Amino acid sequence: MSRLEYLARPLVAFDPTNKDHRRYYWEFLTRSGWGRCPVRFICTEEHGDNLPAIIQKLMVEYYVNREFQKPTPKTKPGRRIK
């Protein structure tokens, strides 16, 4: 293993449900760079090679689903939903 591989930031896939990942993206937008990000995000083949555009698309999907998805009913154990 080379020293560069040992010292490199870990590779991770962007997960919009992960609060830290959302914060890293916000820091990228405010600082215009990934310099202080502790991880490297992976660009999957299905999305292309434009990482900020990929993350933006995933964030939009996450917040739209969160806004308009019907909440699941919460019931107590043993009770039925009518």
pLDDT digits (tens, 9 = 90+) for 67-80: 888 766 665 565 55
pLDDT at 32: 92
Taken in order 23, 9, 46, 71, the sign of the CA dihedral is negative
Counted domains in the chain: 1
Examine residue 48 and state whether it is found in any structural domain, yes or no.
Answer: yes
49 vs 27: CA distance, rounded Å: 20
Do 47 and 54 meet the contact criterion of CB atoms below 8 Å apart? yes
Examine residue 10 and state whether it is found in any structural domain, yes or no.
Answer: yes
pLDDT at 50: 86
For residue 7, the enclosing domain spans 3-68
Examine residue 23 and state whether it is found in any structural domain, yes or no.
Answer: yes
Examine residue 64 and state whether it is found in any structural domain, yes or no.
Answer: yes
Q: How far is CA 55 from the centre of its chain?
A: 7
Examine residue 11 and state whether it is found in any structural domain, yes or no.
Answer: yes
Task: Specify the pTM.
Answer: 0.71
Examine residue 75 and state whether it is found in any structural domain, yes or no.
Answer: no
